[in-house]
Amino acid sequence: MQSVLEDLEDIGASLVALTPQTPEHSVTLMEKHALNFHILSDPGNNYAAQLGLRFDVPADLKEIYSGFGIDLPKYNGDESWTLPVPARIVADSSGTIIATDIDADYTRRPEAEKTLADLKALRS
């Protein structure tokens, strides 16, 4: 999303990301990837759960994460072993959702250019 941030701002849009990571780990992520948008913390993926966008990490995936040194409870600050489903939600200034991209396959992420196209369509 960082790649289209300037274009988003040029059309008056704001970009906010939501993560179960603790704010401390989000700051590290923002610095590492030079991100210039807000990242909000969703402890325990509670908001994602309200949206129906939280899943339990299966045992085989926990093993894989651990094998790569990914300590999900440490990064997320809880023992839930849950993650949000990758999703992109576009809302207008009144809060009405106008577009979404949601895929239960965590390896497929919403495309930044699609977000920009959805927002430009709003202005048409």
Domain count of the chain? 1
Residues spanned by the domain of 76: 2-119
Tokens describing residue 69: 């040194």
The whole-number pLDDT of residue 110 equals 77
Inside any domain, residue 124: no
Inside any domain, residue 61: yes
The whole-number pLDDT of residue 81 equals 93
Q: Which domain CATH number covers 55?
A: 3.40.30.10
The whole-number pLDDT of residue 79 equals 93
All residues at 6 or more sequence positions from 18 whose CB lies less than 8 Å from its CB, including other chains:
39, 40, 41, 42, 47, 48, 84
* Ordered per-residue pLDDT tens for the chain, 124 residues: 888 899 999 988 889 999 999 999 999 889 999 999 999 999 999 999 999 999 999 999 999 999 999 999 999 999 999 999 999 998 888 888 888 989 888 788 778 888 888 888 877 6
